[in-house]
Structure formats: C-alpha cells, structure tokens
Amino acid sequence: MQKFRRPSRAARVLLPGAVAVVLLAGCAQGSGGTAAATGTTVPSGTSSTGGSPSPASPAPGSPVTVTPGPGGAAVPGTLLVADFGSDSVTFVDPARGATGSVKAGTAPYGLVVGADGRAWVATAEGVAVVDTASRERLALIPYRTDTGPVTTGEYRGGGMGIALAPDGRRVYVGVNVPGGNGTLEVVDTATLKVTDVVPVGRRPFDVDVSRDGAEVYATNHDSFDVTVVSAGTLETRRIEVAPYGTEGGIGSWLKPHYAAVRPSDGRLLLPFEGERLAVVDPRTGRTAIEPMTANTHQHGATVTADGTLLTVGTGPIDPDADAGPSLTVRTPDGAERVYPLEGPHEDVAVSADGRTAYVTGGFTRDGYWDGLTVVDLGSGDTRRLPAGSRPLGIAVL
C-alpha cells in the first residue's frame, strides 16, 4: 500500500511570510534552477536556460518548406508546440526536429487543434488562430477581460488553458487576471469573436471539456479549485480540490495544475506530487484520493482513449525527500510505470498509436529548456529533441 507523505509536508514547503506570496504563486523549481544547475546534459543546439531560441530551430516566423499531407493538411504525426519564450508556435518533425515557426502572439501558453486543422493558441494578447496546413496566422482574437498591460513571464495576464468543444463550434480559454480571479472566455469559431465571459478561479492553468460538450472545467491553480461551467446556461459551480489542504494559500506549492477527463465515466483526474491522484466527480463535487508513486511535483496531464493517464513530474520540491523529473504512465487499473527524465518539463502529448510520448521542456518556472523529450513507452528509451523556445503546450497533428 502506498504510504502518503506525512502531513508536515505542507509546513516544510512554504516560504516565510510575504516572500512566499510574491514568489510562490506558481510552482516548484523542479531540480533547483536551470537545467545546467541540475547536472542535466544538454545536447548541442539546445539552450540550458531558455534565454534564446535554440540555434537548431528556425527563427520564429522564418520561411519553411512545407510537406503537406492529403488535401494540403499537415503531415500526420507532426507536433505543434507553443513557444512561450518567442511568441510563436513551432512545427516539429518527431524524427528531425523543428521545421518552422509562425508568430502567434505574446507568450503563448496552451494550444488545441481542431479537426479542420486550425490551431487555437492562448497568448497574452488574445487567442491566435493558426492554419496548420498553410502555416500562417489567420487571426488574433482579443480578450474581453481586462488583464492589464501585455507582459511575459510566469505570472503574465492573458490566456492559459484552452479547449475545443467536441463539435468544434466553440473554443474555451482560461484567462489569468494578475492579482485576482480569472475568467473563462467563449470564442465562436465561425465568427472568430468572444461571445461570453464567465468568472472562474485564480490562474486557470488548464481547461477541459466533457466528452458530450455539456460542461467545461477550468482548473484554477491559485484558488485550489475547479470551476464547472454549463456550456448551455454558463452557470458555474466551484469544487475545491485540495488533497493536502489549503494551508499557505497563494504561497503553497500543493495546488492543482492540470486535469484530464476520464473517458469511461467523465471524472476529472488531477495528479498531485506523484503521491495523490484526485478523482473528482463533477456531478456531485465529491473527490476520491488514490495513491501515486512518482514522488515528484506534477504538472501536465493527458489521457488516452482507453483511460491511460500520462502526467509530467517537474522535479522535487524538497531535494532531500522528493524524486526528480519523470513521466508517469498510469493504466486504468492504477498500475504505474515511471520514466525518469532529465531536467524540468511541463506538458505531454501522445502519438496516435499510443507508443510514444512527447514531453515539453518549457516549464512554467526557471529551469526550462528549448525542446522536447521523446519517450518510447515500450522500451523506456528517451531522447531530447531541440524544438522551439521554452515550449509549453503541445498537440499532435
């Protein structure tokens, strides 16, 4: 039986007083700073600090050679990543690396791609619409929410999590308002306009949609909760998700980050610290806690059609007690395989055949690097692939 970490964990991961409030609205620094500081080996052509785009990657907005698939669509299996560090999105061949970038908008965070090949990218300025076949930005849809001056960095205002309705008619984007509660903005994909604005919690890291499209879920990092939004009436319900409690408030490290909707029953899966999986029933608001095994601070999460959960471990909060960065693959029966990774990572996507995971190295705090880790889920082999500049969100085309 998994032994949950002692209750005193919350006390030892809080910084004193005002310093915690200023510095820890976000998350742990993984393995303690930049990739170079962690002892990670960074391949040639990769930036260890994320301060500039990788020399191995084309400059954002540069001309590219496009090899289209049938009907002009992007080649299946191509990856698209949001370059938080260079205001662009980058196309990545999983074998060769980056093949070109398109300017999207300031500090892009999450992205989602529809069946029509259009990518919807949450930037600090608005939702960028990118045609993945022609590789051009079609529009930048401004937010209605006042998020203050357009800035960069972990705490910048603007779009964070983003999701597409199953019928492709609406995009939902979580908008961060520095210093206050965020909003969920609803975009009509035909008119390219924001139609509604719904209040949610603080810093909506992730947005997900139920399989039937009836509900939208905003995972709010700094308010320890998920906002359930009715897609029809836009009525909201708040569900607190805090398996470690809310001690420390905004200064706590032990907050929700990303969620995934379990296909079998629509419950939300929210991993915490490689120790506890919060399984939330959005209908009742009840949360069940299941043990996890990676013992590391966890961020990005996705789930496959058969209910297998993949979640990214960014590294330890306390290096004396916690494990390093990893990727956890958890089958529907709760069995886990943990793949060690080098250096902090943020988000994850899976190939169409389910054999390969792609984990972005961008990370929301210091310690990011400019590329992906490609994980063979059968053999456990990993390799680093230079791609973009501080990549966060990722999708497989």
Q: Which helix (H) or strand (E) holds 82?
A: strand 79-83
Pairwise CA distance, residues 221 & 202, whole Å: 6
Average pLDDT, rounded, for the chain? 86
pLDDT digits (tens, 9 = 90+) for 20-40: 333 334 563 333 333 322 333
Average pLDDT score over residue span 323-349: 97
Decide if 183 contacts 145 (C-beta within 8 A). Answer: yes
Domains of the chain: 20-59+75-396 (2.130.10.10)
pLDDT digits (tens, 9 = 90+) for 107-148: 999 999 999 999 999 999 999 999 999 999 999 999 999 999
pLDDT digits (tens, 9 = 90+) for 275-289: 999 999 999 999 999
Question: Given this model, what pLDDT does residue 70 score?
Answer: 41
Sequence-distant (6+) residues with CB within 8 A of 255 are: 27, 221, 222, 224, 242
- Residue 152 clears pLDDT 90, i.e. is over it: yes
Question: Given this model, what pLDDT does residue 4 score?
Answer: 41
Pairwise CA distance, residues 36 & 16, whole Å: 27
Question: Given this model, what pLDDT does residue 63 score?
Answer: 31
pTM of the model: 0.85
* C-alpha dist (Å) from residue 280 to 22, 101, 277, 384: 30, 38, 9, 34
Pairwise CA distance, residues 125 & 150, whole Å: 6
pLDDT digits (tens, 9 = 90+) for 208-237: 999 999 999 999 999 999 999 999 999 999
Q: How confident is the model at residue 365 (pLDDT cuts 50, 70, 90)?
A: confident
Q: Residues 24, 6, 2, 276: what is their CA dihedral angle, to the nearest 10 degrees?
A: -30
Q: pLDDT over 70 for what percent of the chain?
A: 81
Sequence-distant (6+) residues with CB within 8 A of 238 are: 201, 225, 226, 227, 228
pLDDT digits (tens, 9 = 90+) for 50-103: 333 333 333 333 333 333 444 444 577 999 999 999 999 999 999 999 999 999
Q: For strands 88-93 and 97-103, give the pairing.
A: antiparallel
pLDDT digits (tens, 9 = 90+) for 253-274: 999 999 999 999 999 999 999 9
Pairwise CA distance, residues 371 & 33, whole Å: 17
> What's the token pair of residue 148?
């203050």
Pairwise CA distance, residues 31 & 29, whole Å: 6
